[in-house]
Structure 1
């Protein structure tokens, strides 16, 4: 399956791109996708991934064991300051 990962703010800067397509095996989870992102961007992104939130097709991810589907969008959102 192929998903689209979109990066925002500090995650975008650490990954060096706004979005990318990630190929994963069928049955992959959000945790599997995160592991692949760590592998692809070992320099600055792993530190950011320790503090981010994720949206899967626009819905907040609370359980990284959630299954992905082909064509899903995974948004990587670093903590935001402000109020």
Structure 2
């Protein structure tokens, strides 16, 4: 699946996008993917917050639609956008 990071999430992950493999043998939730991303990025770039901290306060879009439920099941073809709070909102 494709992960797209925006603003502070991009800074914390140190990349704009990345592809992660979703397990085919069991359902994979947004919460599972968040945990995978935190393990993949344990140390933020210098001067940036940890990705776990950014994810905790972020909103998510799944294939362009709001995904507020961390129990939502994702697929290998999903696109997950990570949207941290932006200035003024």
For normalisation by structure 2, the TM-score amounts to 0.85
The structural deviation recorded for 1:46 is 0.9
- Once the 2 structures are TM-superposed, how far is the Cα of residue 80 of structure 1 from its aligned partner? 1.0
CA distance in 2, matches of 1:29, 1:45: 18
Aligned to 2:65: 59
Kept in 1, the 8 Å contact 2:60–2:81? The answer is yes
Give the match for residue 8 of structure 2.
10
Show structure 1 runs of 5+ residues with no match.
Answer: none
**Deviation of 1:81 (Å):** 1.9
CA distance in 1, matches of 2:87, 2:54: 15
Structure 2 unpaired stretches of 5+: 44-49
Does the CA contact (< 8 Å) of 2:22 and 2:75 recur in 1?
no
- Scaled by the length of structure 1, what TM-score is found? 0.91
In the aligned structure 2, how far is the partner of 1:70 from the partner of 1:41? Answer: 20
Please say if residues 21 and 76 of structure 2, whose CA atoms lie closer than 8 Å, have aligned partners that are also in contact.
no
Q: CA deviation at 1:11?
A: 0.4
* Counterparts of residues 11-50 of structure 1 (less than 5 Å): 11-26=9-24, 27-43=27-43, 44-50=50-56
